[in-house]
Amino acid sequence: MQNETSSNISRGNDESWPEGVVARYLTAAGATVVLTFDEPTGVIRTTCGGELCHWTGHTDTEGLIEDTSEKAQERFNEWLPIAQRRAQEHAEKCRSLPRPA
């Protein structure tokens, strides 16, 4: 048995998330599905970090160019559960391992 280093155990918790990242889901294989909101286009994107997985989700909140930031946020809240479900479903069955950093 080798000793685990503490840096491995705390991974993912204390590192700060990139801007725009709303949520992250741990897949069955230990990769990460990232959920981001692209406000200018009004699209919630979900991307799987599993190597060669290439799965992406695309949830259009049907934003309009004249939307205010509040309106965009409102649409985002409306569509978020759908995007979350897609990310969750993929995370549960994806077996693609993340490439070691």
Q: Which residues bind Zn ion (CB under 5 A)?
A: 48, 50, 53, 55, 94, 96
Shortest approach of Zn ion to residue 89 CB, angstroms?
11
Quick one: which of 39, 50, 33 has its CA closest to 87? 33
Q: At closest approach, how far in Å is the CB of 53 from Zn ion?
A: 3
Map residue 43 onto helix, strand or coil.
strand
> For residues 44 and 48, which CB has a smaller minimum distance to Zn ion in the complex?
48
CB of 15 to Zn ion, least distance (A): 21
Q: Are strands 21-26 and 32-38 parallel, antiparallel or unpaired?
A: antiparallel
Measured from the CB atom, is 30 or 39 closer to Zn ion? 30
Strand locations in the chain, DSSP E?
A: 21-26, 32-38, 43-48, 56-60
Closest to Zn ion by CB, 36 or 75:
36
